[in-house]
């Protein structure tokens, strides 16, 4: 450890902005001359006519309705994995029909070894569906090569759906997970209304799928074409096949490479009005306040102003059905990122995203919906109501939201307003702007209400200069009372991704007072630079399908140009033919602390706080991870890391063991532990969780999650029962409790039991 020392003079902030602006102008000029023909025109090469019928088939999974004989047929699929470009080894037939109100898709998935079909999952929205045999559909209803809707089903009729907001940000997902992607532009938590029935045949399995026109948005034109693609995962062979071929660098979310469904006419959305009233009631008990019984009602309304533009209204919003967050221990100096799980904020949430695209850990997101109606520790703040207008008009993307919260926890209510506009340009590029306003007690009586605000103004771009090359970035300015300077933030990323290479460079300049309070920016007052190089050779021996050697360097400086953090990341990943994966890495760290860093806070009787003094630190970080074949009924993972940790040492261990005993029952246990040895004190932290899922049917499921955090000495249990008694209408029964170690025994601190029922009225 040594003291910090001055560095040579660096370019001024204004000169850095000038360089950034010049680079942006140069890239725009390059885009202007980039011919549209550089993109592969899959829409012309892969076309299927839309066949209209007066009345669709009955969904029973058998595909014996006479109406299916009129359907358009697709039966030629191409491998992505393992042999890109080769014909599929198993036959797949897709039948397509539509009537005024629904799109119908029939599937015959033939299999020469039907007993080898891997399907154990029945629950809706389970990520495990992608580990097994499955069939996936993506619809680009605006035919814009950017946004779409994705639907997944399995031989047991499990369902998963997601929205894709910006295909240029979504690359190929992890091998062994069905080729799907969960990138920055993918919203897997969206709940769309659709139906599926499955069946078994002697040599495979079948599915009949109905997607209502009101579930998706599309242009308001009498005749239209949609982008469409299909993917089948044949899990025992780890084979992924597509109708319109997708290179190995990407997944089904690469919408620009989809085929075309042509000639859709006279689509009927009815009144395009959906009203969902709900009633909620239950009881709570806290150690401090005793028992309380309460109930409430609320309303959600969805109205299609046009076929492509949707208005959502919510009144007296309740989030009883939202799942609890996973427990995590934070040994860093910066806040952890937890994803949004509340239904009102999920649909079309990708249209509000403006932020850094490549970083594993969020670097800067200008808008983060968890800032609305949640405290920093995850407690719910009552939402009086809100409105959202989202959708597309021509090449214009519109997203506007206004939400008002009530007083809670001794704090006044707040109003949150966000407006996002994007314009599609050229073949696959976009420019846009965003305005965010947070106003405390906007409707209150306090004269000072209008003086308590935080505002963010930003402009962003995503420029696809080549099918494999994308440039994205933003410039933003915040405004807060009493602050007049150093409130700017900017970010630029240039990325190349093809079958063998992933290379990108990114840079950010986040000034000292840059403060988007309705966003997520863990660290300000920094200049950030990163370069990443990754190569994916395929040895096709020793059971290895692909190697993932990579190296990247991250350099973080303060605003004067003095180094704060340096990380050199060296990694080798190995993906095996059966879907298992092994990773080994070494990180070389440099950290400069200008102030002491409290790693953990503890009571005096436990030794007091553990603090790392200010200074400069160099240390290394080794880690090994292995995850077994995720498609097996019993699967697991292990991780072990040993490292220097500032002026001490740290050992990290984690274990995961899961099982899917039947298509209805699955369980997973996780354990993670940190052993930290520092001159300022030693400590051990651990998090244990146990999850059980039981699906009585595809529409009825029970999930329990029990977690223990040794740092807070807290046990938490969450139980969620969900019954979808008709599409879009649900009954939830929710039980939560928190126990803490009090004077030697575990005592219940808080618990609640809630019943919530929703009913969808659709016209």
Cα separation values, 127 from 250, 497, 528, 598, Å: 18, 25, 33, 37
Give Cα 654 to chain centroid, integer Å.
Answer: 23
Rg (CA), the chain: 26
End-to-end, the C-alpha distance of the chain in Å comes to 69
- Cross-strand partners of 740: 714, 747
Q: What is the pLDDT of residues 700-739, one digit of tens each?
A: 999 999 999 988 888 999 999 999 998 889 999 999 998 8
Are 125 and 699 in contact by the 8 Å Cβ rule? The answer is: no
Q: What is the pLDDT of residues 381-422, one digit of tens each?
A: 899 999 999 999 989 999 999 999 998 888 888 999 999 999
Q: Is the peptide bond before 110 cis (omega within 30 degrees of 0)?
A: no
User: Does residue 269 carry a pLDDT above 90?
Assistant: no
User: Does residue 448 carry a pLDDT above 80?
Assistant: no
Phi, psi of 281 (to 5 degrees): -155, 160
Give dist(CA 123, CA 698) in Å, integer: 6
Are 165 and 187 in contact by the 8 Å Cβ rule? The answer is: yes
Are 167 and 147 in contact by the 8 Å Cβ rule? The answer is: yes
Under the banding of pLDDT at 50, 70 and 90, the label for residue 167 is confident
Give dist(CA 621, CA 649) in Å, integer: 10
Exposure string of 642-662, with b = 16+ CB inside 10 Å and e = fewer, is: bbebbebebebebebebbbee
Q: What is the pLDDT of residues 548-568, one digit of tens each?
A: 999 999 999 999 999 999 999
Q: Are strands 47-49 and 259-265 parallel, antiparallel or unpaired?
A: parallel
Q: What is the pLDDT of residues 650-661, one digit of tens each?
A: 999 999 999 988
Q: What is the pLDDT of residues 679-704, one digit of tens each?
A: 989 999 999 999 999 999 888 999 99
User: Does residue 334 carry a pLDDT above 90?
Assistant: no
The mean pLDDT value for 184-213 works out to: 89
Are 426 and 34 in contact by the 8 Å Cβ rule? The answer is: yes
Under DSSP, is residue 111 helix (H, G, I), strand (E, B) or coil? coil
User: Does residue 165 carry a pLDDT above 90?
Assistant: no
Query: Which pTM does this prediction carry?
Result: 0.86
Are 376 and 524 in contact by the 8 Å Cβ rule? The answer is: no
User: Does residue 671 carry a pLDDT above 70?
Assistant: yes
Q: What is the pLDDT of residues 618-652, one digit of tens each?
A: 999 999 999 999 888 899 999 999 999 999 999 99
Neighbours of 306 (CB within 10 A): 15
Q: What is the structure's pLDDT at 745?
A: 53
Give Cα 68 to chain centroid, integer Å.
Answer: 36
40-265 — its CATH code?
2.60.40.1190
Under DSSP, is residue 760 helix (H, G, I), strand (E, B) or coil? coil
Phi, psi of 153 (to 5 degrees): -140, 170
Under DSSP, is residue 70 helix (H, G, I), strand (E, B) or coil? helix
Under the banding of pLDDT at 50, 70 and 90, the label for residue 464 is confident
Percentage of residues in the chain with pLDDT exceeding 90? Answer: 62
The residues, ordered by sequence, that sit 6+ positions from 81 with a Cβ below 8 Å of its Cβ are 175, 179, 238, 239, 240, 248, 545
Give dist(CA 396, CA 11) in Å, integer: 38
Q: What is the structure's pLDDT at 277?
A: 94
Among 705, 703, 709, 707, smallest CA distance to 684 is for 709
Give dist(CA 762, CA 749) in Å, integer: 42
Give dist(CA 261, CA 263) in Å, integer: 7
Per the prediction, the chain carries an average pLDDT of 86
User: Does residue 178 carry a pLDDT above 50?
Assistant: no
Under the banding of pLDDT at 50, 70 and 90, the label for residue 183 is low
Give dist(CA 705, CA 689) in Å, integer: 7
Helix, strand, coil % in the chain, rounded to nearest 5? 10, 55, 35
Under DSSP, is residue 232 helix (H, G, I), strand (E, B) or coil? strand
Are 40 and 145 in contact by the 8 Å Cβ rule? The answer is: no
The mean pLDDT value for 133-151 works out to: 94
Under the banding of pLDDT at 50, 70 and 90, the label for residue 101 is very high
Give dist(CA 440, CA 451) in Å, integer: 8
Q: What is the structure's pLDDT at 606?
A: 73
User: Does residue 672 carry a pLDDT above 60?
Assistant: yes
Give dist(CA 237, CA 78) in Å, integer: 15
Task: Sort 636 into a burial class: Cβ within 10 Å, 0-12 / 13-18 / 19+.
Answer: middle
Under the banding of pLDDT at 50, 70 and 90, the label for residue 451 is low
Among 482, 457, 540, smallest CA distance to 83 is for 540
């Amino acid at each position: 450890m040594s003291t910090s020392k001055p560095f040579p003079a660096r370019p001024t902030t204004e000169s850095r902005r000038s360089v950034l602006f010049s680079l942006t102008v140069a890239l725009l000029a390059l885009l202007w001359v980039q011919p549209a023909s550089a993109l592969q025109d899959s829409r012309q090469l892969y076309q299927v006519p839309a066949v209209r019928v007066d009345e669709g088939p009955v969904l029973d999974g058998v595909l014996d309705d006479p109406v299916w004989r009129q359907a358009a047929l697709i039966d030629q699929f191409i491998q992505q994995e393992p042999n890109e470009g080769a014909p599929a080894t198993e036959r797949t037939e897709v039948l397509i029909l539509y009537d005024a109100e629904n799109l119908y898709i029939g599937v015959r998935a033939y299999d020469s070894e039907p007993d080898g079909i891997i399907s154990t999952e029945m629950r809706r929205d389970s990520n495990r569906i992608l580990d097994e045999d499955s069939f996936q559909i993506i619809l680009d209803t605006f035919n814009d090569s950017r946004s779409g809707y994705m639907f997944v089903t399995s031989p047991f009729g499990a369902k998963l759906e997601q929205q894709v907001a910006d295909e240029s940000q979504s690359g190929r997902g992890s091998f062994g997970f069905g080729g799907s992607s969960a990138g920055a532009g993918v919203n897997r938590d969206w709940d769309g209304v659709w139906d599926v029935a499955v069946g078994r045949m002697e040599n495979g399995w079948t599915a009949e799928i109905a997607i209502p026109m009101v579930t998706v948005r599309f242009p308001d034109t009498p005749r239209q074409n949609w982008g469409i693609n299909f993917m089948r995962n044949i899990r025992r062979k780890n084979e992924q096949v597509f109708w319109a071929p997708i290179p190995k660098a990407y997944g089904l979310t690469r919408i620009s490479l989809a085929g075309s469904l042509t000639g859709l006419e006279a689509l009927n959305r009815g009144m395009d009005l959906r009203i969902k009233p709900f009633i909620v009631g239950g009881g709570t008990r806290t150690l401090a306040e005793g028992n309380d019984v309460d109930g409430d009602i609320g309303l959600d309304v969805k109205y299609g102003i046009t076929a492509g533009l949707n208005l959502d209204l919510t009144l007296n919003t309740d989030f009883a059905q939202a799942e609890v967050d996973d427990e995590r221990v934070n040994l860093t100096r910066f806040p952890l990122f937890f994803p949004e799980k509340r239904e009102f904020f999920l649909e079309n949430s990708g249209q509000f995203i403006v932020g850094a695209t490549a970083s594993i850990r969020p670097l800067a997101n200008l808008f983060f919906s968890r800032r609305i109606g949640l405290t920093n520790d995850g407690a719910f703040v009552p939402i009086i109501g809100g409105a959202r207008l989202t959708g597309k008009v021509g090449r214009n993307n519109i997203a506007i939201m206004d939400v008002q919260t009530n007083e809670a926890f001794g704090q006044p209510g707040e109003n949150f307003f966000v407006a996002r506009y994007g314009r599609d340009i050229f073949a696959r590029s976009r420019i846009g702007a965003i305005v965010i306003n947070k106003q405390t007690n906007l409707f209150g009586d306090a004269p000072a209400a209008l003086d308590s605000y935080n505002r963010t103004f930003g402009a962003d771009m995503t420029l696809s200069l080549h099918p494999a090359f994308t440039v994205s970035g933003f410039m933003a300015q915040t405004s807060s009372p009493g602050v007049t300077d150093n409130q700017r933030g900017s970010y630029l990323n240039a990325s190349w991704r093809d079958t063998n290479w992933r290379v990108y460079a990114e840079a950010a300049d986040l000034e000292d007072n840059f403060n988007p309070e309705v966003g997520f920016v863990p660290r300000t007052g920094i200049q950030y630079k990163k370069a990443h190089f990754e190569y994916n050779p395929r040895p096709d021996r020793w059971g290895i399908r692909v190697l993932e050697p990579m190296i990247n360097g991250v350099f973080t400086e303060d605003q004067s140009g003095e180094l704060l953090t340096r990380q050199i990341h060296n990694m080798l990943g190995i993906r095996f033919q059966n879907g298992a994966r092994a990773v080994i890495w070494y990180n070389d760290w440099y950290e400069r602390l200008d102030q002491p860093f409290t790693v953990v806070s503890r009571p005096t009787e436990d030794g007091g706080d553990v603090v790392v003094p200010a200074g400069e630190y160099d240390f290394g970080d080794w880690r090994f991870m292995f995850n077994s074949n995720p498609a097996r009924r019993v699967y697991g993972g292990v991780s072990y890391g040993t490292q220097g940790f500032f002026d001490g040492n740290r050992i990290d261990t984690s274990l995961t063991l899961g099982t899917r005993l039947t298509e209805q029952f699955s369980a997973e246990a996780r354990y993670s532990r940190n052993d930290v040895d520092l001159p300022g004190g030693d400590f051990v932290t651990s998090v244990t969780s146990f999850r059980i899922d039981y699906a009585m049917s595809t529409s009825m499921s029970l999930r329990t999650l029990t977690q223990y955090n040794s740092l807070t000495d807290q046990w938490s249990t969450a139980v969620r029962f969900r019954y979808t008694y008709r599409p879009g209408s649900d009954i939830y029964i929710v039980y939560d409790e928190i126990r803490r170690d009090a004077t030697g025994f575990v005592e219940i601190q808080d618990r609640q039991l809630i019943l919530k029922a929703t009913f969808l009225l659709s016209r």
